[in-house]
Chain A
Amino acid sequence: MSVATSTPIKGSVQRRLVLQLIFVALILTVLFVLAVRLVGERIAQSAQDSALFAAAASIASSMHSDNGELQLDLPHSAFAMLEAISEDSIFYRVSVGSRTVTGDDELSVITPASPLAERAYATEEFRGEPVRILTVPRALDVEGVFTNVSITLAHTRQGFHSTVSQIQSIATGVGIGFFIVSVALCLLASQSALKPLKSLVNAIERRGPEDLRPVNREVPSEVAPLITALNSFIVRLSGSLDKAEEFIAEAAHRIRTPMALVQTNAEIALRFAETSKSRGKIREIIVAARESSRSASQLLDHATVAFRAENPQLAPISLSELIERSISRFFPIAEMKGITLTVSPTKSNVIVAVDSLLMQSAIGNVLDNAIKYSESDTTVDISYGVLNDYGFINISDQGPGFSDGDIKHATELFFRGKKTESTEGTGLGLKIVSDALNVHNGRLEITKNGERGSCVSLQLPLHS
């Protein structure tokens, strides 16, 4: 619609909806990946720590005292256990105080936070690599003397990091998948959410320009206030349109009656006029009164067409009957102007289903125009028949005709042809014709009638 293109547009509900949903999905995805990574790290760490503790406990249980000396038979199973978990280096140290009993005396002993704690962990660098260190303090009875022994075990972090990165890559993969699915769902959801709005727009766009019925569709609750507002606007609009039409019809009626009186009295006065000057003036009054009453009739016609168009009374009627009803009132005027009206059928008994009053107005307006713009001693011919499944009524005159440019605009309200500028007129005539034909799905064609004059063709679908 031409109105829509000029509507200032700011943003899009769908785009905003999609962007916000995608933003939420992105945040959820990142949170998910981070959470899984954190949990993964904790689990991997606790797995490494438990394995270290099991190995250290196994070492602790293999300690014994022999001749007052601490003895340790390093258990193969302790190392085999750690070896089975991951490909990582193992370092160990068994110490009493600061004295190393066996193992790597460069390895730091971790002091537990509380003296009662049965283990202490730390992550440090050792021999150029990060290691997880565990110290398990044990009290050992060496010949009746309690000795505090520390078993310290360290494991490099390769297995830990590979577990974490595996978990992370799985989490990232799942996250990316989740995000892609979310985006697709966002698009679908936003489309389906806006579907009722789109179908509503379509329904309103499809309406004809005269259709001022309230919108009566089932709409989502969010759209309902908009429709209520629109409907109340339509009611007010059609109310004021009705009032305007009523006002025009009333005004036309009020003008026509006095004008007829003015015309009759002026004609009587003309007979008694003595000077040619006063006769001229009186003729001008007659022409002006006739024109005014004609305009008033056309306004009335237009109001009638507009009113009846909303609720046409269709009934089958033959074209000859329709023409007969339309032209009877024009014979006196034609005779007065010295114009011959002829009816020439090309086919008899052509039946169309029309609102007779509407079509009489239409034909009357064409005839009125034809007679008005024709000079004396010319003929206005009304022919009818069938062409391509349409019944036609062609009204041809020998008046000034339309120029090529005029034909295009002939049916616009208040348009008047260039060659008629010297004659009085309202420009309502062909608008009435075109509106009446639209009601019947008919067509209006205006062509040149040879060198002089024009041919107005009213075409109506045949009654089946």
Chain B
Amino acid sequence: MRVIAAAIAFLTSFGWAQAFEIEDQKFYGFEDSKDVVKIISTSDIEIFEPLLLAFVNKYPSVGVDYTVASSQQVFKAVYDEQAEFDLVISSAMDLQMKIANDNLARQHISEATQRLPEGAKWRDRVFAFTYETAVFLISRSAFHQSEVPLSRRALVELVRQNTDRFSGRIGTYDIRISGLGYLLATQDSLSSQTYWRLTEVFGLAGTRLYCCSADMIRDVEQGRLAFAYNVLDSYALRKVAEGKPNVQIVEFSDFQTSIMRTALIPKNVKNEEAAEAMLDFLVTLADRPNLALSTGMNPIIEGEPKSKKLLSSVTLGPSLLVFLDSMKRSDFVNSWVSSMRIWQESN
């Protein structure tokens, strides 16, 4: 129980209460419906709504109780408190893997899940249904078109040489509070040594830390940030699609980390049938291209990601658990904090 104790200690140290906290909640379908599937998810209601409406439309007798929480809170609710939910959706693959690894997820095998490619499901307990790429988002006004960096190495050089210009105008996830940020950072560190040099120059220049992609995109769009590093593509894409000319997505040529949004049915599921229907509905998103388009999600399509560029895909497997190790985590966070020179900022 030391891991859990450490996790709770970690969470309480940042001012969270014992019980998990939710950010939002909404009900879909008929209010008096007896057949309700309770979902806890890290995805915002505004993103997920078209999908839920389509599901309710397909299964009119089923009501959907959709709860939004941060990835840490979702994990806390399901792993520590074993709260009653029928389906758990999260983009924090490592935390989902921890639930599945520790035998707290129910096995589900269906025609739909059989079609998932290798690495997109694990032990038939956790299933990926969309993938998202972490991209480099720039504010056009902050760059000359010629100096837009196309690789991390170029970005390191650019920031090193223009520390004053970018000071306080760099945005990235605060890995101490964002589970997704932590996952992306650890995967970056596995993919390339450049990650730590990048953190160093970000720290030297002074970086603003965010909890969520949406805030970073907003600040880039408004020119408060020159660029944001590791922004999830689906949110960013929507902004660009809405015609914000100041926002530009840069795809790095060295590698792009892509993560998968996963779903699992917890062991203490109440409405198993509806949960399975919902899970099958999610993993077959590729069959409904219009819905994929309206949510801005990239469905997992039979093995083929949309972009064939150098994608460093994080796949499902217990090696994701390595960075959840309490000792490893505190080492990593400590290194990151010192690289980011956060002590300077707080002074």
Query: Does B123 lie within 8 Å of A83, measured CB to CB?
Result: no
Q: With A102-B2, A128-B103 known to touch, is A90 a contact of B321 (CB < 8 Å)?
A: yes
Contact with B along A97-137 (1 / 0, CB 8 A): 00011111110000000000000000000011100000000
Shortest Cβ distance from A71 into B: residue: B327
Query: Does A102 lie within 8 Å of B327, measured CB to CB?
Result: yes
Interface positions, chain A 65-120, Cβ under 8 Å from B, are 71-76, 78-80, 82-83, 87-91, 100-106
B128 to chain A, nearest CB (A): 14
Which residues on B sit within 8 Å (CB–CB) of A90?
101, 318, 321
**Complex partner residue of B102 from A71, A73, A79, A89, CB under 8 angstroms:** A89
- Answer whether residue B162 sits at the interface, using C-beta atoms and an 8 A cutoff: no
CA A14 to CA B322, docked complex, whole Å:
68
Q: Which of A83, A90, A91, A127 is the most central at the interface, judged by chain B CB atoms within 10 Å of its CB?
A: A83
Which residues on A sit within 8 Å (CB–CB) of B3?
102-104
CA A105 to CA B321, docked complex, whole Å:
16
Which residues on A sit within 8 Å (CB–CB) of B319?
76, 79-80, 83
Shortest Cβ distance from B189 into A: residue: A76
Query: Does B2 lie within 8 Å of A74, measured CB to CB?
Result: no
The contact size tier of chain B is: 20 to 34
- Answer whether residue B326 sits at the interface, using C-beta atoms and an 8 A cutoff: yes
Contact with B along A331-361 (1 / 0, CB 8 A): 0000000000000000000000000000000
Query: Does A74 lie within 8 Å of B101, measured CB to CB?
Result: no
- Answer whether residue A158 sits at the interface, using C-beta atoms and an 8 A cutoff: yes
- How many pairs of residues, A versus B, come closer than 8 Å at their CB atoms? 66
CA A314 to CA B321, docked complex, whole Å:
109
Shortest Cβ distance from A105 into B: residue: B2
**Complex partner residue of A87 from B2, B122, B322, B326, CB under 8 angstroms:** B122
Which residues on A sit within 8 Å (CB–CB) of B2?
100, 102-105
CA A28 to CA B339, docked complex, whole Å:
69
Which residues on A sit within 8 Å (CB–CB) of B1?
105-106
Q: With A87-B122, A104-B3 known to touch, is A127 a contact of B103 (CB < 8 Å)?
A: yes
Query: Does A83 lie within 8 Å of B331, measured CB to CB?
Result: no
Which residues on A sit within 8 Å (CB–CB) of B323?
76
Which residues on B sit within 8 Å (CB–CB) of A91?
101-102
CA A102 to CA B329, docked complex, whole Å:
11
**Complex partner residue of A89 from B123, B322, B325, B326, CB under 8 angstroms:** B123
Query: Does B318 lie within 8 Å of A79, measured CB to CB?
Result: yes
Query: Does A82 lie within 8 Å of B123, measured CB to CB?
Result: no
A395 to chain B, nearest CB (A): 97
- Answer whether residue B190 sits at the interface, using C-beta atoms and an 8 A cutoff: yes
Q: With A79-B322, A87-B122, A106-B1 known to touch, is A74 a contact of B103 (CB < 8 Å)?
A: no
Query: Does A127 lie within 8 Å of B102, measured CB to CB?
Result: yes
Shortest Cβ distance from A104 into B: residue: B3
Query: Does A89 lie within 8 Å of B103, measured CB to CB?
Result: yes
Query: Does A102 lie within 8 Å of B318, measured CB to CB?
Result: no
Query: Does B123 lie within 8 Å of A158, measured CB to CB?
Result: yes
Which residues on B sit within 8 Å (CB–CB) of A106?
1
CA A101 to CA B326, docked complex, whole Å:
10
CA A87 to CA B315, docked complex, whole Å:
12
Which residues on A sit within 8 Å (CB–CB) of B122?
87
Query: Does A83 lie within 8 Å of B317, measured CB to CB?
Result: yes
- Answer whether residue B288 sits at the interface, using C-beta atoms and an 8 A cutoff: no
- Answer whether residue B309 sits at the interface, using C-beta atoms and an 8 A cutoff: no
CA A189 to CA B255, docked complex, whole Å:
69
Which residues on A sit within 8 Å (CB–CB) of B190?
76
Contact with A along B121-144 (1 / 0, CB 8 A): 011000000000000000000000
Q: With A82-B318, A103-B3 known to touch, is A74 a contact of B123 (CB < 8 Å)?
A: no
Q: With A100-B2, A102-B2, A127-B102 known to touch, is A73 a contact of B318 (CB < 8 Å)?
A: no
- Answer whether residue B328 sits at the interface, using C-beta atoms and an 8 A cutoff: yes
Shortest Cβ distance from A78 into B: residue: B322
Interface positions, chain B 295-324, Cβ under 8 Å from A, are 317-319, 321-323
Which residues on B sit within 8 Å (CB–CB) of A71?
327, 331
CA A90 to CA B324, docked complex, whole Å:
13
Contact with A along B13-46 (1 / 0, CB 8 A): 0000000000000000000000000000000000
Query: Does A101 lie within 8 Å of B321, measured CB to CB?
Result: no
**Complex partner residue of B331 from A73, A75, A100, A104, CB under 8 angstroms:** A73
Which residues on A sit within 8 Å (CB–CB) of B325?
72, 74, 102-103
Query: Does B327 lie within 8 Å of A89, measured CB to CB?
Result: no
Query: Does B102 lie within 8 Å of A83, measured CB to CB?
Result: no
**Complex partner residue of A83 from B100, B318, B327, CB under 8 angstroms:** B318
Contact with A along B171-208 (1 / 0, CB 8 A): 00000000000000000001000000000000000000
CA A74 to CA B327, docked complex, whole Å:
8
CA A327 to CA B321, docked complex, whole Å:
125
Which residues on B sit within 8 Å (CB–CB) of A158?
123
CA A178 to CA B248, docked complex, whole Å:
68
Shortest Cβ distance from B124 into A: residue: A87
Which residues on B sit within 8 Å (CB–CB) of A89?
100-103, 123, 318
Which residues on A sit within 8 Å (CB–CB) of B331?
71, 73
Query: Does A129 lie within 8 Å of B321, measured CB to CB?
Result: no
Which residues on B sit within 8 Å (CB–CB) of A104?
2-3
Which residues on A sit within 8 Å (CB–CB) of B327?
71-74, 101-102
B183 to chain A, nearest CB (A): 13
B39 to chain A, nearest CB (A): 25
CA A287 to CA B318, docked complex, whole Å:
125
Which residues on B sit within 8 Å (CB–CB) of A101?
327
A267 to chain B, nearest CB (A): 120
Which residues on A sit within 8 Å (CB–CB) of B317?
79-80, 83, 87
Shortest Cβ distance from A128 into B: residue: B103
Which residues on A sit within 8 Å (CB–CB) of B322?
74-76, 78-79
CA A79 to CA B321, docked complex, whole Å:
8
Which residues on B sit within 8 Å (CB–CB) of A105?
1-2
CA A128 to CA B103, docked complex, whole Å:
7
CA A100 to CA B326, docked complex, whole Å:
12
Contact with A along B53-87 (1 / 0, CB 8 A): 00000000000000000000000000000000000
Shortest Cβ distance from B121 into A: residue: A87
Which residues on B sit within 8 Å (CB–CB) of A128?
103
A176 to chain B, nearest CB (A): 28
Which residues on B sit within 8 Å (CB–CB) of A82?
318
CA A73 to CA B327, docked complex, whole Å:
7
Q: With A101-B327, A103-B3 known to touch, is A129 a contact of B103 (CB < 8 Å)?
A: yes
A116 to chain B, nearest CB (A): 29
A270 to chain B, nearest CB (A): 122
Shortest Cβ distance from B315 into A: residue: A83
CA A105 to CA B328, docked complex, whole Å:
16
Q: Which of B100, B101, B318 is the most central at the interface, judged by chain A CB atoms within 10 Å of its CB?
A: B318
CA A100 to CA B4, docked complex, whole Å:
13
Some 14 contacts from A to B, beta carbons below 8 A apart, are: A72-B327, A74-B322, A74-B327, A75-B322, A76-B319, A79-B322, A87-B122, A87-B123, A102-B2, A102-B3, A103-B325, A105-B2, A127-B102, A158-B123
**Ranked 7 nearest A-B pairs via Cβ:** A79-B319, A83-B317, A90-B318, A127-B103, A80-B319, A89-B101, A102-B327
Other 12 A-B pairs with CB < 8 A, given A74-B328, A80-B319, A83-B319: A72-B325, A72-B327, A72-B328, A73-B331, A79-B321, A79-B322, A87-B122, A101-B327, A102-B328, A103-B3, A104-B2, A127-B102
